[in-house]
Structure 1
Amino acid sequence: MRTMPAGEAKNKFGVLMDTVQREAVAISKKGRTTAIVLPVHEYEEYQALKLERLRREIKTGIDQIERGEVIDGEAFFDELEKELDG
């Protein structure tokens, strides 16, 4: 993945757009990565993976509820949030 300083990304936006057609580009500001620009197909794959994971987590939760393993809905969603953030 190529890294491009924010000023260069701004001044050479056409170059950024051409580069991102082939690979993701990290945008840095003051030496720290602040954004990643992805090709559309990579973004769509990422979104599909997120949706698949969410569906799996929801199914797991529904299965646990049906088995009577979850009695505190708030605790369940707190745990789900921790898993999705991790």
Structure 2
Amino acid sequence: MNTLVAALVAAAAPQLNSDGIVQWGVKNIIPIILLFVGIGIIASARKGQMSQNALTVTNILLGCIVIAGAALFYGFADNIASFVFQS
């Protein structure tokens, strides 16, 4: 009886599709964040702080590279694992 109830509850549970949420965030939130970062860099460039701006831009680029690398490994983890651990 308990397994029947558990199966009915599992079948009635809502399914959450997060693909649309992720796509919306990539499309809308990330450009706004980059806009504020760019405005901050331009504002500090007007004050003559070019060395700090260069450091900020370098850190942003390194962060983007790390995120892209993580996404690459996440997307191709099965292929990379089968390539490295060939039997």
Q: Aligning the two structures, in what range does the TM-score lie when normalised by the shorter sequence? A: 0.3 to 0.5
Structure (1/2) with the larger strand percentage: 1
Larger Rg belongs to = 2
Larger relative contact order, structure 1 or 2 (CA cutoff 8 Å, min sep 6): 1
Structure 1 length-normalised TM: 0.44
Structure 2 length-normalised TM: 0.43
